[in-house]
Structure 1
Amino acid sequence: MSQFDVNDGDKLQFAAEPTATEVDSGLESWKLLLVDDEAVVHSVTRLALAEFELAGRGLLFISAYSAAEAREQLAQHDDIALILLDVVMETDHAGLDLVHYIRRELNNKFVRIVLRTGQPGQAPELEVITQYDINDYKEKTELTRQKLFSTVYTSLCSYRDLMALENNRLGLLKVIEASANIFERRNLAVFSEGVLQQLTALLYLNKDAMLVQPCGMLARPASDALNILAATGCYSGYEGTVEISAFDSDVGDRLSAAIVQRSSNYGDNYWVSYYITESGMEQLLYVSAKDVFLIPDIAMIELFVRNVAIAHETVALLESNNHG
């Protein structure tokens, strides 16, 4: 029987769980891979973390009952945030071999790995921590509900920060690649996309964001169109000219209001930033956040919109002069 505790001193045993279950919070869940050959460990972990939430996101539990099954799950999910990993399964060192596979063969340096062992003598803590790229080491007897919650919370915070830095790095690469010829229309689009990716990463925003320009006056907001300059997340499929009616009614209403009123508007978890250049070129940025916006965040968003709008205005003026 497993020695995994739900509450201090309470030992429970449950039937085997399905391969994957999700705690629904309305946002994309954090993926947590449970790797253990004891069904009770899976059941108790799911029970202990049933109400877990970080930044408005719940957990998607994925179960593997051996290191071999874990490899299959890793092949299907390349965005697992945290692995709670047993050491002794098919072999006495199956868990450690899996760590080596993840870090060396898959070259995945982002997923957080917490080793959980019921037989600490098989893998001494000091030896494991110094020789393997793991993020924490726990004996199952010490993992109460509270300690498990804390371990998962801190691990996911670390994963979130690492992914924010990586997305910022990828966005910066796009900016650098486009900057050499920024005043060409195609490269300006790449530049806008790169800065948009950096912005959403640095502010921990949802990846759903778009940079747009109105196509004429919105006399009929429901039927008029927008020119999509750059987009991420659920808006990444929108390119070129798109009717406002193609978006959800809430999104369309927010964009229309900003254009008609010529001003930014925001709610608890979204921001529509409006900017008009000296020549009259209008530009909007629509972003959503997991939590309430902070004032410094809003200032950065406004700065982004203004600078990119000025870059687009410069390109338009250069094109006009060349054709003139």
Structure 2
Amino acid sequence: MSSSDALRLASDDRGRDGDVPTRPWHLLVVDDDEEIHTVTRLAMHGFECCGRPLEIHSAYSGAEAIDMLRQRDDIALILLDVVMETETAGLDCVHKIRNELGNQFVRIVLRTGQPGQAPEYKVITEYDINDYKEKTELTRQKLFTCVYTSLTSYRDLVALDRNRKGLVKVIDSSADLFDRDTFDGFAQGVIEQLAALLYLEQDFLVLSSSGLALEKPNGHIQVVASTGQFAGVQDEVDLDDKHPLVRQRIEDAMKNEYEQVFGADYFVACYNADGAARNILYITGEHPIDTADRTIVELFARNVAIAHHKLLLIERYQELLNE
């Protein structure tokens, strides 16, 4: 790819594909008073943050909260009572979350109906929490603000961590691709490494076409590697029969000469490996590829092009030696 890689956001195809499922934010309410759970759910009814709805979970003790957090790692925010099964159950829960479970991302807001039981200054300075509120001061508007800012903070922390891990994986996976010595191995490696890169169950196609290269006439598309729902797809006839929308997306990307195209839940990368053959990488998954993932995918796609070019040079060199 050139240094001026073109990038565009494709039109939203959700009207044709069916709606892309929107992942909710997960909020855990920890309180031994059933009324607090009911009031919180009523107050947060219809809440959205960054286009995503809120799903509320309930725990009625610190121990129950810890059990839930051991089972799932997608809780973004905890509204945590201080006094439950013991006078310090909430504070003990904070300690276990941060130190025993090692969860540094979930945002924790302590709520107390007995402010004198745990002095605010001591709690804020000695425990890794994000806010400390008295239940009587949390009006609907203040609760809304508290939840919204906590969720955006959680989102940013997770995105930073994913970028860090993703960049490490780009370095590791690119090194693996440069070690491939056959095109079949290279194509399969692209799929395997990108699957690991995105941490998702994604479906991939790696295709090569050469309508402009005259190697194959009439813009024939050949699938060189595939996985997931595309397993068994071999050529453009299969694409037309089984995945017509995928074929249309690929054709649009090539026709408009965009090198990288992001849609609601898919990505197309086009590049010229040696000036003759056009190659395409198509990815789709259950969930949208968010902004943090896009940066990693773009970088990986550029490295794929470089590795492929290196592979072609090696093949030509070996052909010359064999002549």
Give the TM-score, by structure 2 length: 0.71
Kindly indicate whether the alpha-carbon contact (under 8 Å) linking 2:207 and 2:222 is maintained by their aligned counterparts in 1. no
Q: State the 1:89 CA deviation.
A: 0.5
Which residue, out of 245, 248, 253, partners 1:253? Answer: 248
Q: How does 1:114-263 map to 2 (within 5 A)?
A: 114-180=109-175, 182-185=177-180, 212-214=206-208, 226-227=223-224, 244=239, 250-259=245-254, 261=255, 263=257
Structure 1 letter corresponding to 2:109: V
**What residue number does 2:98 align with?**
103
Which residue, out of 36, 46, 49, partners 2:44? Answer: 49
Secondary structure of 2:133 counterpart = strand
CA distance in 2, matches of 1:138, 1:158: 18
**What residue number does 1:280 align with?**
277
Q: Kindly tell me: are residues 266 and 47 of structure 1, through their superposed partners in 2, closer, same or farther at Cα, counting changes over 3 Å? A: farther
**What residue number does 1:310 align with?**
306
CA distance in 2, matches of 1:128, 1:267: 45
Secondary structure of 1:113 counterpart = strand
**What residue number does 1:69 align with?**
64
Q: State the 1:99 CA deviation.
A: 0.6
CA distance in 2, matches of 1:77, 1:107: 13
CA distance in 2, matches of 1:256, 1:241: 17
Identity of aligned residues (%): 48
Residue by residue, what CA displacement relative to the aligned partner does 1:32-75 show, whole Å, maximum 9, x if unpaired? 11101111111111112121212221112111011121122112
CA distance in 1, matches of 2:243, 2:106: 34
Kindly indicate whether the alpha-carbon contact (under 8 Å) linking 2:30 and 2:65 is maintained by their aligned counterparts in 1. yes
CA distance in 2, matches of 1:167, 1:174: 10
Structure 2 letter corresponding to 1:263: E
Structure 1 letter corresponding to 2:64: E
Kindly indicate whether the alpha-carbon contact (under 8 Å) linking 1:181 and 1:187 is maintained by their aligned counterparts in 2. no
**What residue number does 1:8 align with?**
none
Secondary structure of 2:52 counterpart = coil
CA distance in 2, matches of 1:71, 1:298: 33
**What residue number does 1:60 align with?**
55
Secondary structure of 1:158 counterpart = helix
Residue by residue, what CA displacement relative to the aligned partner does 1:13-49 show, whole Å, maximum 9, x if unpaired? xxxxxxxxxxx99311111111011111111111121
Q: Kindly tell me: are residues 262 and 51 of structure 1, through their superposed partners in 2, closer, same or farther at Cα, counting changes over 3 Å? A: same
Of structures 1 and 2, the one with the larger relative CO (CA 8 A, separation 6+) is 2
Secondary structure of 2:128 counterpart = coil
Give the TM-score, by structure 1 length: 0.71
Q: State the 1:272 CA deviation.
A: 3.5
Q: After the TM superposition, which segments of 4 or more aligned residues of structure 1 sit over 2 Å from their partners?
A: 175-182, 185-198, 206-221, 223-229, 235-253, 255-259, 261-277, 283-293, 297-308, 319-324
Kindly indicate whether the alpha-carbon contact (under 8 Å) linking 2:271 and 2:305 is maintained by their aligned counterparts in 1. yes
Secondary structure of 1:310 counterpart = helix
CA distance in 1, matches of 2:65, 2:126: 21
Q: State the 1:317 CA deviation.
A: 2.7
Q: State the 1:212 CA deviation.
A: 3.1
Kindly indicate whether the alpha-carbon contact (under 8 Å) linking 1:182 and 1:191 is maintained by their aligned counterparts in 2. yes
Kindly indicate whether the alpha-carbon contact (under 8 Å) linking 2:43 and 2:140 is maintained by their aligned counterparts in 1. yes
Kindly indicate whether the alpha-carbon contact (under 8 Å) linking 2:28 and 2:79 is maintained by their aligned counterparts in 1. yes
Kindly indicate whether the alpha-carbon contact (under 8 Å) linking 1:48 and 1:145 is maintained by their aligned counterparts in 2. yes
1:322 matched to 2:299? The reply is no
Q: What stretches of structure 1 of length at least 5 have no aligned partner?
A: 1-23, 230-234
Q: Kindly tell me: are residues 287 and 53 of structure 1, through their superposed partners in 2, closer, same or farther at Cα, counting changes over 3 Å? A: farther
Q: How many residues align?
A: 286
1:36 matched to 2:36? The reply is no
Structure 1 letter corresponding to 2:159: A
CA distance in 1, matches of 2:123, 2:36: 22
More displaced 10-residue stretch of structure 1: 48-57 or 134-143: 48-57
CA distance in 2, matches of 1:228, 1:163: 32
Kindly indicate whether the alpha-carbon contact (under 8 Å) linking 2:210 and 2:278 is maintained by their aligned counterparts in 1. no
CA distance in 2, matches of 1:220, 1:50: 56
Q: Kindly tell me: are residues 32 and 178 of structure 1, through their superposed partners in 2, closer, same or farther at Cα, counting changes over 3 Å? A: same
